[in-house]
Amino acid sequence: MRWICGYSIVVFCVSTSLFSQSQINSFLKPSDSLNRPRRNAVVITEASLGTLTLLALDQLWYADYPRSKFKTIDDSEEWLQMDKLGHVFSSYQLGRLGANTLNWAGVGRKDQLIYGSTLGLGFLTAVEVMDGFSEEWGFSWADMAANALGTGLYVGQELLWREQRVLLKYSFHRTRFAEQRPDKLGSGLAEEFLKDYNGQTYWLSANINAFLKTDDIPNWLNLAFGYGADGMLSGDPNDPLFPDQNRTRQFYLSLDIDLSRIKTKSHVLKTIFDVFNVIKIPFPTIELNSRGRAKLHYIYF
């Protein structure tokens, strides 16, 4: 009797688990036609999160600095343009998220591009305007150009190929520079991940088979071209407080994996792959820097 009861409990638990997974898989599956409840949920959620984020920035970030009349600045030469690549990356990924969520709701492709892929550009423009009214910063046309470039990278590929053959990805490793200036470059891994430009690398990850159309290469294998920088303690190359900065540009060549091209019928796995597809997969990497030096990294993060 105890065995029968135990067996029944196991069967019940397994059945419940499978049923839950089935429900989740069904929920994550993109709709074949317009699903108005999903679309409304996407619009309300994105509008609410965007508004709350801007309000939080205004109260928790900008409130610590004096306000000013609207002004513009030219910061195009700072941080060896690593901050600008951060804008390109953010705009691209937010636009990709916006288009994908509308696709999940069954919204037509045209509206996905108009209202979804411009999500990043709209949000980052609002942040840039807030910068313009802060004494500490200012409205940067270079930032706006980077935001537009990120959105254009997504939209352009959809119009040209109806797919993302070239992905924009990110990788990070800790450096010694954050310890020297934690107030600017971050204190601890979480802050350094966002603030230490010396440890950041931005990648254009191109799917090889999408261009060559061959069965000899795995469909998920990409060729990645990266850009990073090193030796920066300040954004200004002529900062009198840090006169001995050894600022160096770094260029990388590596392989990568496009997780979205791994075949699976599970929409749970597809969603997980989509989330982690923003990160460059570590591979052996060749580095060439602006000082003419080459280096092989057995595994590069």
Whole-number pLDDT of residue 237 = 86
Distance CA 95, CA 84 (A): 17
In this structure, are 223 and 187 located in the same domain? yes
pTM: 0.91
Last residue of a domain, one of 128, 163, 198: 163
What's the structural domain count of the chain? 2
What domain range is 267 assigned to?
Answer: 165-301
Whole-number pLDDT of residue 8 = 40
Last residue of a domain, one of 105, 129, 163: 163
Evaluate whether residue 109 is within a structural domain: yes
What does the angle CA 247 – CA 173 – CA 86 come to, to the nearest 5 degrees?
Answer: 65
In this structure, are 284 and 177 located in the same domain? yes
- Provide the b/e sequence for 114-149 (b: ≥16 CB within 10 Å): ebbbbbbbbbbbebbebbbbbeebbbbebbbebbbb
Evaluate whether residue 16 is within a structural domain: no
Whole-number pLDDT of residue 5 = 40
In this structure, are 188 and 275 located in the same domain? yes
Evaluate whether residue 13 is within a structural domain: no
Q: pLDDT 10s digit of each residue in the chain, 301 long?
A: 433 344 343 433 444 444 567 888 888 899 999 999 999 999 999 999 999 999 998 887 888 889 999 999 999 999 999 999 999 999 999 999 999 999 999 999 999 999 999 999 999 999 999 999 999 899 999 999 999 999 999 999 999 999 999 999 999 999 999 999 999 999 999 999 999 999 999 999 999 999 999 889 999 999 999 999 999 999 988 888 888 789 999 999 999 999 999 999 999 999 999 999 999 999 999 999 999 999 999 999 8
Whole-number pLDDT of residue 136 = 87
In this structure, are 299 and 204 located in the same domain? yes
